[in-house]
C-alpha cells in the first residue's frame, strides 16, 4: 500500500484529506472529496461508518498491526520538499523511493491561503524554513520529523526569497514590494535583528544570493535594469550600491527593461548568473568586479536556478516557453555548462509552467515542479481540498537528462519551489 501506484502515493499518513485511497472509497459529499470509479470496483460501496473508520485510521498515521507508521523512525532520511503557492501544505517526498510520504501544514493565518513562496533547508540539514507572500512570519521546522519549531515575526509583506548563512545561524529575507525591505534574522534565537529599508533606492527587490563569506548580498530588482549590491560586513549598517545589467546604462527601476528575477553564484563563487524575464536571457557576471561576461539567450520567462557540481551544469526553468514537441505542454528547462557558458540541452518534455527546481547530487536527480496554473494546461487527476488546479513534480536522471516517466507525481495547487535534504 505504501509502495505507490501509477499515480504515486495512494495514502499519506496523518492526512486522509490528501489521500487518494480515501477519495475513491468515499461516496458521501460531507466527508470530503469523492472520485470515480468508486471502490471497490463492481462491489458494494463502503458505508458511512466504514469510510469514517478508514479516514480516522489514516489520520492516526495508518499504522500497521504492529503500530509501525510508514516512513517513520529514520531521523536522517533524505527528502525533497515542495511548497505550494495555492495551498498551505508542504509536500514531503522520500528521496530514495521518490514517493510522496507526508503533507505538512504551514502558515500562521487560519481561514486564508498564506501562499508559501520559498523554502530552504539549513546547511547542516537539520531544519527547513518557509516564507510567505501573505503572512508575517518565517517558520522553522525540523527535518528529522518535520515538526514545527517556531516562527519569527517579520511584519506583513510579500516575502519572496531568502538566503541562509553557511553556519545556519542568520538569514536575509527579501520583501518584493515598491518600498522594498530585507529582514535580517537570527535563526538560532528566532529573533528579528534588523529591517533594511532603502526608500526610493530599492524598488521591488526579489531574488537574493550572498557571497561565501556572507558579507555581500546581491538582490535582483524585479522591475528594472539593475541589481542591488549590499555590503553587510557590518550588518547593522548596510551599504547599498548598484550593478547595471548592461554597462553604460543608467539605473531604471521601471518595468519592461530586463526585469531580473533570480540570481545564483557558481560553486567557486567567481561568477553569478541572473535570469532576466523580459529579455529571455541569463546574464553572467564576474563577481570580483561585477563586469558582464556573457549574455545567454534562453526560453520565454526564465525564472529559477539549480546547479549540479558533478555535471558542471546550471539549470534554469523557463515557465512560458512554447512547447515544440507536441502535446498539451508548456515551458522548458535550459541546461547550461557554467564553465563554458554553452547551452548543452533543452528539457521540454511533459512540463507545464515549470518553476521550482533543485538537484539531488547523491541520487543523481533533477527535480522540477510544474505549476500547471493555466486552465489550458494538462487536466489534473482531481481537485484538491484547496480548490484550484493541481500541479505536478517530475524527475530527471542527471547523467542522461532523461525524464523518469514512472515518477511524475501530482501534488497540490501551484507547486512553486523545491528544497532538498541530503
Question: 23-62 pLDDT, tens per residue?
Answer: 999 999 999 999 888 888 888 999 999 999 999 999 999 9
318 and 339 together in one domain? yes
Last residue of a domain, one of 70, 102, 123: 70
User: Is 205 in contact with 176 (CB distance < 8 Å)?
Assistant: yes
- Mean pLDDT across the stretch 205-215? 98
Does residue 241 belong to any structural domain of this protein? Answer: yes
131 and 52 together in one domain? no
- Mean pLDDT across the stretch 163-179? 97
Is the pLDDT score of 111 beyond 90?
A: no
Q: Which of 51-65, 125-139, 226-240, 398-412 has the lowest mean pLDDT?
A: 398-412
pLDDT of residue 7: 63
- Mean pLDDT across the stretch 183-211? 96
pLDDT of residue 256: 73
Does residue 292 belong to any structural domain of this protein? Answer: yes
Average pLDDT along the chain: 95
140 and 237 together in one domain? yes
Structural domain that includes position 138:
80-421
User: Is 129 in contact with 164 (CB distance < 8 Å)?
Assistant: yes
Is the pLDDT score of 74 beyond 70?
A: yes
60 and 143 together in one domain? no
Write the DSSP string, 11-78. --TT-GGG-HHHHHH---GGGS---SSPSSTTSPPPPHHHHHHHHHHHHTT---TT---TT-S-TT--
- Mean pLDDT across the stretch 179-202? 96
25 and 167 together in one domain? no
Sign of the C-alpha dihedral computed for residues 149, 133, 101 and 382 taken in this order = positive
Residue with cell 555548462: 337
For 266-304, what is each residue's pLDDT tens digit?
Answer: 999 999 999 999 999 999 999 999 999 999 999 999 999
pLDDT of residue 385: 78
Does residue 204 belong to any structural domain of this protein? Answer: yes
Name the nearest CA neighbour of 411 among 4, 7, 1, 6.
Answer: 7
Task: Tell me the backbone φ, ψ of residue 44, rounded to 5 degrees.
Answer: -75, 130
80, three cell numbers? 525533497
Last residue of a domain, one of 11, 37, 70: 70
**Band (6; pLDDT cuts 50, 70, 90):** low
Does residue 37 belong to any structural domain of this protein? Answer: yes
Does residue 206 belong to any structural domain of this protein? Answer: yes
Q: How many CB atoms lie within 10 A of CB 342?
A: 11
Is the pLDDT score of 384 beyond 80?
A: no
- Mean pLDDT across the stretch 369-373? 96
Q: List 291's β-bridge partners, or say none.
A: 286
Last residue of a domain, one of 70, 96, 112: 70
Is the pLDDT score of 181 beyond 90?
A: yes
263 and 149 together in one domain? yes
| Interatomic CA distance for residues 390 and 404, integer angstroms | 20
pLDDT of residue 156: 96
Q: Which of 175-184, 210-219, 386-395 has the lowest mean pLDDT?
A: 386-395
Name the nearest CA neighbour of 338 among 266, 268, 422.
Answer: 266
CATH number of the domain encompassing residue 378: 2.130.10.10
51 and 100 together in one domain? no
Does residue 253 belong to any structural domain of this protein? Answer: yes
| Higher-scoring residue by pLDDT: 110, 56 | 56
Write the DSSP string, 388-405. S-EEEEEEEETTT--B-G
49 and 165 together in one domain? no
Is the pLDDT score of 325 beyond 80?
A: no
pLDDT of residue 5: 65
Does residue 75 belong to any structural domain of this protein? Answer: no
State the first-to-last Cα distance of the chain, in angstroms, to the nearest integer: 26
What is the number of structural domains in the chain? 2
- Mean pLDDT across the stretch 112-127? 97
211 and 124 together in one domain? yes
105 and 199 together in one domain? yes
1 and 125 together in one domain? no
Is the pLDDT score of 178 beyond 70?
A: yes
- For residue 37, cis peptide bond before it (omega within 30 degrees of 0): yes
| Interatomic CA distance for residues 233 and 248, integer angstroms | 28
41 and 140 together in one domain? no
**Angstrom distances, CA of residue 279 to CA of 227, 255, 259:** 15, 12, 8
Amino acid at each position: 500500500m505504501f509502495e505507490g501506484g501509477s499515480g504515486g502515493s495512494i495514502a499519506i499518513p496523518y492526512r486522509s484529506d490528501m489521500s487518494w485511497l480515501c477519495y475513491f472509497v468515499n461516496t458521501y459529499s460531507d466527508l470530503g472529496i469523492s472520485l470515480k470509479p468508486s471502490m471497490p470496483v463492481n462491489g458494494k460501496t463502503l458505508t458511512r461508518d466504514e469510510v469514517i473508520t478508514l479516514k480516522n485510521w489514516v489520520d492516526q498515521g495508518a499504522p500497521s498491526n504492529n503500530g509501525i507508521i510508514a516512513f517513520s523512525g529514520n531521523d536522517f532520511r533524505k527528502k525533497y520538499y515542495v511548497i505550494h503557492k495555492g495551498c498551505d501544505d508542504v509536500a514531503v517526498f522520500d528521496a530514495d523511493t521518490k514517493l510522496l510520504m507526508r503533507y505538512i501544514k504551514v502558515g500562521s493565518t487560519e481561514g486564508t491561503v498564506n501562499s508559501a513562496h520559498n523554502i530552504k533547508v539549513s546547511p547542516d540539514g537539520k531544519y527547513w524554513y518557509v516564507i510567505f507572500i501573505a503572512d508575517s512570519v518565517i517558520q522553522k521546522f525540523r527535518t528529522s520529523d518535520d515538526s514545527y519549531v517556531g516562527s519569527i515575526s517579520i511584519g506583513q509583506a510579500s516575502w519572496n526569497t531568502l538566503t541562509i548563512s553557511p553556519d545556519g545561524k542568520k538569514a536575509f529575507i527579501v520583501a518584493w514590494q515598491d518600498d522594498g525591505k530585507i529582514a535580517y534574522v537570527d535563526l538560532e534565537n528566532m529573533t528579528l535583528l534588523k529591517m533594511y529599508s532603502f526608500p526610493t533606492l530599492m524598488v521591488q527587490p526579489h531574488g537574493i544570493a550572498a557571497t561565501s563569506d556572507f558579507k555581500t548580498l546581491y538582490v535582483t530588482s524585479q522591475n528594472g535594469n539593475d541589481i542591488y549590491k549590499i555590503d553587510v560586513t557590518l550588518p547593522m549598517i548596510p551599504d547599498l550600491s548598484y550593478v547595471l545589467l548592461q554597462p553604460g546604462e543608467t539605473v531604471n527601476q521601471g518595468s519592461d527593461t530586463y526585469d531580473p528575477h533570480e540570481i545564483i553564484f557558481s560553486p567557486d563563487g567567481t561568477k553569478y548568473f541572473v535570469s532576466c524575464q523580459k529579455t529571455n536571457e541569463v546574464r553572467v557576471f564576474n563577481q570580483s568586479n561585477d563586469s558582464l561576461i556573457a549574455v545567454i539567450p534562453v526560453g520565454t520567462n526564465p525564472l529559477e536556478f539549480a546547479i549540479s557540481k558533478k555535471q558542471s551544469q546550471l539549470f534554469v526553468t523557463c515557465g512560458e516557453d512554447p512547447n515544440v514537441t507536441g502535446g498539451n505542454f508548456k515551458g522548458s528547462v535550459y541546461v547550461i555548462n557554467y564553465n563554458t557558458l554553452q547551452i548543452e540541452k533543452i528539457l521540454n518534455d511533459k512540463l507545464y509552467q515549470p518553476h521550482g527546481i533543485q538537484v539531488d547530487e547523491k541520487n543523481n536527480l533533477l527535480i522540477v515542479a510544474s505549476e500547471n496554473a493555466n486552465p489550458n494546461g494538462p487536466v489534473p487527476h482531481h481537485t484538491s481540498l484547496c480548490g484550484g488546479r493541481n500541479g505536478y513534480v517530475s524527475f530527471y536522471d542527471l547523467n542522461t537528462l532523461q525524464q523518469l516517466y514512472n515518477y511524475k507525481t501530482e501534488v497540490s495547487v501551484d507547486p512553486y519551489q523545491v528544497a532538498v535534504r541530503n
